[in-house]
Amino acid sequence: MFKNKSYFIPVLLALLFLLSCQNKQQTSSVQVNDKPVVKHEPDIAYGIVIDSLLVDTAIVKRNEYLSDILLRYNVSYATIDKLAKGTKKIFDVRRIRKGNKYAIMLSDDTLKTPLYFVYEINRVDYVVYHLADSVYASLRKKQLDTKEQAVSGQIVSSLWNAMIAAGIDPELSNLLSEVYAWTIDFFGLQRNDRFKVIYDEAYIEGKPAYIDKIKAAMFHHGGEDLYAYYFEQNGQGDYFDQDGNSLERTFLKAPLKYTRISSRFTNRRYHPVLKIYRPHHGVDYAAPEGTPVHSVGDGIIVKKGYQKRGGGNYLKIKHNSTYTTTYMHLRGFAKGMRVGKHVKQGQLIGYVGHTGLATGPHLDFRYFKNGSAVNPLKVKSPPARPVEKQYRPAFDSVVQHYKAILDTIR
């Protein structure tokens, strides 16, 4: 075909060379295109990109205020004053509390200029103070998710230890004891009692943070399976048994008919007899001498006697493993009152007097929750109402759903 072979060979070599170069270019381009693109994810804290910032975190110390913190970072008094006054509607800096976490974000240069101050109000909410240019604040929330969990355990020594042995957050024991506070005496648990619990666990920014709420439980105690189901009616939640009866019991609003409240719950009250300031962890109900005093709930009398240094004639009633109440300055006791006696809600237990350190007749009434004094006027009495008729279909559906899950927990 080709008469001049000397011409053909150089042309063929040139074509092969061009094809080779083209293939190399195509291969090179494919390698470049297939090469994974690495994207740098910015570091973010409290919704702020901190890649180019210095971040200091710490805990608010005792008697430490906002000015104490910011002055250490050379924030001027004028800026601190402007921040405190100008952002009060967003968050009042006087509410900064010992033990809460905060963060300072500074420019990463020789000046180390403070740019942001972040204070965690609680586990979810926090406030960001912008310190550069115009000073202002913004309230924000951490990402909060909940996951439903199911656990079980068996009592060997205590509920707390059973939670630890099962690898469960022991805080669940406190919540469980509150659910069954009126049903089970947790100081009288028996070996081999057992429990199953379904609860919601809160995750903050993908990390487990705290137990949110028990949704259903079964506690085997005294040879009986005691079920509890959380259900809301009329906008209020409560725990009920399988028949729709509330597991809680109500308290009377007050243990007597009184004329006025003469002294309230406080950590610093001027004592009219001792002439000194000291805590008063109760409510004084002024009433005529001899006014009947009644127990605010069912319980057992655990103490009865006379306190020479203050309370005079007094009774202490244990209502369950959570609540106790104390009645002081009594003129005398009702007939049959003795340690170990069971009393009913509304039962007469004594009469108003002014025994002990008292300037006039009144009842000093005190509430204790888990051994700590709480303000009687702020104790929210449990509803103690059964599931109402219009909500029964919805409640029965909840029971059916969660009982099936509880029964499958080993």
Name the pLDDT band for 258 (thresholds 50, 70, 90).
confident
- Segment 34-55 mean pLDDT: 79
**Which whole number is the average pLDDT over 334-339?**
95
* Neighbouring C-beta atoms of residue 207, cutoff 10 Å: 8
Residue 312 backbone zone (phi > 0: left; psi -120 to 50: alpha; other: beta): left
Do 44-141 and 145-240 agree at the fold level? Answer: yes
Banded pLDDT at 31 (limits 50, 70, 90): very low
**175-189, 313-327, 364-378: which has the minimum mean pLDDT?**
175-189
Q: Fold for domain 145-240?
A: Nuclear Transport Factor 2; Chain: A, (3.10.450)
Residue 113 predicted with pLDDT over 80: yes
C-beta of residue 229 within 8 angstroms of C-beta of residue 214:
no
pLDDT value of residue 33: 53
pLDDT at 206: 84
Map out the domains of the chain as residue ranges: 44-141, 145-240, 260-378
Q: What is the CATH number of domain 44-141?
A: 3.10.450.350
- Tell me the per-residue pLDDT of 86-106, one tens digit each, with 9 for 90 and over: 999 999 999 999 999 999 999
Task: Please say if the pLDDT value at position 251 is more than 90.
Answer: no
The mean pLDDT value for 279-303 works out to: 89
- Point out which residues pair with 332 in neighbouring strands: 351
Residue 270 zone, left/alpha/beta (φ > 0; ψ -120 to 50; rest):
beta
Average pLDDT estimate for 32-41: 59
What predicted TM-score, i.e. pTM, was given to this entire model?
0.59
Segment 41-64 shows an average pLDDT of 91
Q: Give pLDDT tens digits for 169-180.
A: 888 988 998 888
Tell me the average pLDDT across 107-112: 92
CATH number for region 260-378 = 2.70.70.10
Residue 157's Cβ-count burial label (10 Å; 0-12, 13-18, 19+) is: exposed
Residues 304-325 pLDDT 10s: 999 877 789 999 999 888 889 9
What mean pLDDT value characterizes the chain? 85
